[in-house]
Amino acid sequence: MEAPSCYREVLEVQSRLEYNVVMSRWGSNRGVDWVRRAGLVLATGLIVVAAAFGQSSSGGSSPQKQSADADKSSNAGKQDKNSEPPTTRLRIEITGPNGKPVGNASVYIRFPESGGILHKEKLAELNLKTNDDGTAKAPEIPQGKILIQVVAKNLHTYGKWYDIEKPEETVQIKLEAPPHWY
């Protein structure tokens, strides 16, 4: 008994469809599908970004309000460029455990410095040496949190964060004797 001709045609179409599905998944069209999918994802992302940008720039406000906002932002930008953070001049006095000044000690000053890529703050460093009377004078540095570290021969190393808020400030540091090693 033979199947009717329309049934045979349906079986042939079904087998061709199965073959096409297998070839599109595992065949030579695989690289083309990946490129198409990547293109779709990229296009969708661009559309979403463009829509978000369009909404944020229009904002649904009146033209007068937009021009007032633009004036405020341009004035704020000018103030930021012209105004620098307040600075301070540091004088650091180093004494030993007996109260005498420590000469030729290394003084390291670290302070946050704005700028760089994406305006990320980084720590800038100054390296100074004390003179014979145990003082080191730093050039103008920004006010705020400042790390001062002192290294001197035959004395214990010192380091501490200071909050500097005055235009001129003297920091007095007394170094300790080194610990005894047994």
Pairing of strands 168-174, 87-95: parallel
Q: Give the pLDDT confidence of 108-126 residue by residue, as tens digits.
A: 999 988 776 677 778 899 9
Q: Looking at the structure, do residues 37 and 71 belong to the same domain, yes or no?
A: yes
Q: Looking at the structure, do residues 68 and 95 belong to the same domain, yes or no?
A: no
Per the structure, how many domains does the chain have? 2
Q: Give the pLDDT confidence of 12-64 residue by residue, as tens digits.
A: 656 665 555 555 555 555 556 777 777 777 778 777 777 777 666 554 555 55
Instruction: Work out the pLDDT band at 172, boundaries 50, 70, 90.
Output: very high
Q: In the listed set 21, 48, 78, which residue is the last one of a domain according to the structure?
A: 78
Q: Looking at the structure, do residues 10 and 43 belong to the same domain, yes or no?
A: yes
Residue 23 is encoded by which pair of tokens? 């070839």
136 class by beta-carbon count within 10 Å (0-12 exposed, 13-18 middle, 19+ buried): buried
Q: Looking at the structure, do residues 97 and 158 belong to the same domain, yes or no?
A: yes
Residue 77 is predicted with a pLDDT of 47
Provide the 3-class DSSP secondary structure of residue 66. helix
Q: In the listed set 50, 78, 106, which residue is the last one of a domain according to the structure?
A: 78
Residue 9 has pLDDT above 80, yes or no: no
Place of tokens 């720590």: 123
Beta bridge partners of 145: 163
Containing structural domain, residue 166? 87-174
Provide the 3-class DSSP secondary structure of residue 87. strand
